[in-house]
Structure 1
Amino acid sequence: MRASRRHFLHLLSGLAATSGSAAEAPSLNVNAAAKYVASTKGYALYVKQRGKVIHESYFNGAKSGEARRIYSGTKGFWGLAAMAAVEDGVLTLEEKVSATLPEWSGEKKNITIEQLLDFTCGLERCLRLHQDGLKNRNKMAWERPLVGTPGRSFIYGPSALQVFHEVLKRKLAARKRAESPTHYMERRVLRLMGLGPQRYLPDASGNPLLAAGFLLSPRQWAWMGDLLLAKGHPVLKSSSMEPLLEGSSANAAYSFGFWNNRAAGRLGAREMDIEDMLELDWDRQNWSRVCIAKGVPSDLIACIGSSYQRLYAIPSLDLVVVRQGLNAKFSDGHFLRTLLG
């Protein structure tokens, strides 16, 4: 575990508790925010504060209750499943992948499960894993070469998560109560959140695509925000949420499917379009001092999916926001500053 970042998170939590509260939240400019969403090919804007829905609107032909693709928003659910597996004694973050996957030897031998989950294992990202009709996407993933230095290179893509699926699959199969990772996800995460089985996009071997796939309505996706505000309840212990939000030395803004805004309050913070940065080759990306939005609370947590699918949770404001839509030029910073007035 990265102990120094663990300590930082405890300090951050204390600062958030003393620097503001939901009772001091600014008045939200939801009408202006909705206008911006509609103008950027948005389908939906859904806002909850203090547990109550304060705004819900649909645009560009969308209808209330429609489940739509959240793309990489799916990753966060598997991050929750990973930490549930830690709580249940199925695995540890520090253990080597090769202990369960002997196919990994040589330069891959010392890669840890945590490095798979925060995308610092150095594995080629292999976007082909998103394709339908694959025979065994897990095998395709674990056979990818290393192109970066484990622990030092942030490479965002589906391959690392597919290797994690293979590890979880083998570990769950060896338990007295054997079950597949998708069944484990449903029992240990989705049902506790009030969700049912999801769109898994399995290959011919039954392996789901972990990097994307889920279809959720704004109301359903907002339940993830509720969980983030509740520090993991009812799925995880609050202490288990820390690895999900701590970032890594290679990218302090990302862990386990979740993006954080901690750098926003620091000197030299760099607000950028996360999706635009991810479009670059991994070795051209620069994640130093990156934040989601300046002038916005630094405790903001976001799930980010392609085409600007967004879930935001701001604990200090007791606020959850969902934006869904088509690909268009959308700015997280402009939207959030507009909403927060």
Structure 2
Amino acid sequence: MKKFFKLVGFASFIGVFYLGFTTYPKLDLISGFSAKSIASGHFIDHRSQSTIEKGDNDIKMIDYAENSINDAGKFAVASVYGLKERKAIYREGLGATLITNDFDVSKPYEVPKRTKLNNNLPFPYGNKDPLDTVFTNVDYAKLNVAVANAFDKKGELSKRSRSVLVIYKDKIIAEKYDTGFNKDSKILGWSMTKSVTATLFGILQKQGKYDIYKPAPIPEWQKDDRKIITTNDLLHMNSGLEWEENYSTICDATNMLFQAKDMTRIQLEKPTAFKPNAHWNYSSGTTNLLSGILRKQFKSHQEYLDFWYSALIDKIGMNSMVVETDMAGNFVGSSYGWATTRDWSKLGLLYLHKGNWNGTTLFDESWAKYVATPTAGSNGKYGAHFWLNAGGRFPDVPRDMYFCSGYQGQMVAIIPSLDLVIVRMGLVEDPKFDFNGMLSGIIASIKHTK
């Protein structure tokens, strides 16, 4: 019997040791994610700590974190049972940034200059309320049912939609929010921010200031086989560079988002695993590398900060949007864009109109076609920093649909053939959330005429 208890004790020790060995390295990820999420949600969208913990942080293992907010100091702190404490600070104009202990919080910093649309136009081209428009070919009862079906009934936590917005012919025909959210709520788009980042290259190209087909202007690559990688390759996620993106474990992507001081360099420092245009591999590191390339197109850091807003975000009235920066001052173009649901829809409308915003052309019509053309190796599911339905991912939705997509099911869907933009923000993604059912239900409510 004594021998039995010794064996049980030894087995328990091994179990605890194994659990600690495998879990402890993840604590940085857990506390880092939690601190950043708490700081962003609280200071950008004014959510309470409990609301963020029950919503944004209700993720396996992330819910182990113990959090606190310092409103006076504008920061949030998180740890796991007192271990691996992480801190995220909030700076007006730059959002929340996860910092290391050696980060100098007293150092002066620059912020983007912002402008707001100053006209008397209704949404989407102005800041006045949208016009009430009734389309005779829209079955509003059917539409409202399709939208309502995207939300949980009272007491349920399966669909977890926060908002759904439907825009037909530039007019809002349906708009619904979950309890605690409204048209002014700023919601994190996660990887939908990638589409914002890519759009800036389309704008620079239109201005004649950048050629995406030339080798990427990265000095560190000029003496090895990476020197032939073009910005076009990077935009299509087929540069051939090594990268692992798996948020269930410690990987390149999590190390970048929760450890790196300069997120633009993580992908830059990776070697090649394939020749360019030979292997499609989704990489948030690639997008942040592109953010770094953008930064080098300007003479000053202030110009880089301003460009994102003056050339695109504020230009189309996405005045609620905040793109957060890393410790080195780079916009985290892969993941950290916040905006209201209505403002997210404006990015979709810009593409629906092929770069024309109320008479002003931001990028060439060919750019809209470019981002929506399947990239090699993606089986019709990816273009240039936009996801596609060309491969029939959503079988009951037109194949010409392309969309911005973010973690936990953020979507801005653009359907040119139907003159539709559909936005869904939430906490559950495909296949747990039935995007095909939601999209096809909305489409079926509209009688489309040629």
Q: Does the aligned pair in 2 maintain the 1:41–1:60 contact within 8 Å? A: no
The alignment yields a C-alpha RMSD, in angstroms, of 2.3
1:299 corresponds in structure 2 to 400
1:106 corresponds in structure 2 to 224
Q: Does the aligned pair in 1 maintain the 2:197–2:291 contact within 8 Å? A: no
* Structure 1 residue corresponding to 2:279, chosen from 153, 169, 187: 153
1:337 corresponds in structure 2 to 440
Per-residue deviation at 1:129? 5.4
Q: Counterpart of 2:344 in 1: which secondary structure?
A: helix
Change (3 A) 1:122 1:318: same
Distance in structure 1 (CA, Å) of the matches to 2:238 and 2:353: 28
Per-residue deviation at 1:219? 0.8
Change (3 A) 1:206 1:236: same
Residue identity opposite 2:166 in structure 1:
V
Q: Deviations over 1:33-72 (max 9, x none)?
A: 2232113111111111111111111124323321111111
Distance in structure 2 (CA, Å) of the matches to 1:87 and 1:209: 23
Asked if 1:165 is matched to 2:291, the reply is yes
Whichever structure has more helix as a proportion of its residues is 1
Residue identity opposite 1:108 in structure 2:
R
Q: Deviations over 1:84-129 (max 9, x none)?
A: 11122222111001xx212013121111110111100022332035
Change (3 A) 1:37 1:190: same
Distance in structure 1 (CA, Å) of the matches to 2:211 and 2:255: 26
Residue identity opposite 2:150 in structure 1:
V
Distance in structure 2 (CA, Å) of the matches to 1:141 and 1:187: 27
Q: Does the aligned pair in 2 maintain the 1:132–1:201 contact within 8 Å? A: no
Q: Does the aligned pair in 2 maintain the 1:165–1:181 contact within 8 Å? A: no
Q: Deviations over 1:300-335 (max 9, x none)?
A: 121111111111121222111111111251122122
Number of matched pairs: 287
Per-residue deviation at 1:134? 2.7
Per-residue deviation at 1:245? 1.3
Structure of higher CA gyration radius: 2
2:116 corresponds in structure 1 to none
User: Greater shift after overlay, 303-312 or 324-333?
Assistant: 324-333
Distance in structure 2 (CA, Å) of the matches to 1:188 and 1:313: 21
Q: Counterpart of 2:149 in 1: which secondary structure?
A: helix
Distance in structure 1 (CA, Å) of the matches to 2:330 and 2:196: 16
2:319 corresponds in structure 1 to 196
Asked if 1:256 is matched to 2:373, the reply is no
Distance in structure 1 (CA, Å) of the matches to 2:320 and 2:186: 13
Asked if 1:37 is matched to 2:150, the reply is yes
Counting only pairs closer than 5 Å after superposition, residues 186-225 of structure 1 correspond to structure 2 as 186-196=309-319, 198-225=321-348
User: Greater shift after overlay, 306-315 or 121-130?
Assistant: 121-130
Residue identity opposite 1:32 in structure 2:
V
* Structure 2 residue corresponding to 1:244, chosen from 371, 374, 377: 371
Distance in structure 1 (CA, Å) of the matches to 2:404 and 2:421: 11
Change (3 A) 1:196 1:54: closer
1:17 corresponds in structure 2 to none
Distance in structure 2 (CA, Å) of the matches to 1:218 and 1:197: 10
Q: Which structure has the higher relative contact order (CA within 8 Å, separation 6+)?
A: 1
Distance in structure 2 (CA, Å) of the matches to 1:129 and 1:256: 24
Q: Counterpart of 1:96 in 2: which secondary structure?
A: coil
2:233 corresponds in structure 1 to 115
Residue identity opposite 2:229 in structure 1:
I
Q: TM-score, normalised by structure 2?
A: 0.59
Q: Does the aligned pair in 2 maintain the 1:130–1:209 contact within 8 Å? A: no
* Structure 1 residue corresponding to 2:209, chosen from 90, 96, 103: 90
Counting only pairs closer than 5 Å after superposition, residues 275-294 of structure 1 correspond to structure 2 as 290-294=391-395
Distance in structure 2 (CA, Å) of the matches to 1:310 and 1:197: 17
Distance in structure 2 (CA, Å) of the matches to 1:83 and 1:229: 15
Q: Counterpart of 2:314 in 1: which secondary structure?
A: helix
1:70 corresponds in structure 2 to 189
Distance in structure 2 (CA, Å) of the matches to 1:318 and 1:151: 32
User: Greater shift after overlay, 64-73 or 130-139?
Assistant: 130-139
Identical columns (%): 23
Distance in structure 2 (CA, Å) of the matches to 1:331 and 1:300: 16
Q: Counterpart of 1:255 in 2: which secondary structure?
A: coil
Change (3 A) 1:197 1:141: farther
Q: Deviations over 1:192-240 (max 9, x none)?
A: 2112374333222211211111111111111112112211113222123
Q: Which runs of 5+ in 1 are unaligned?
A: 1-22, 263-289
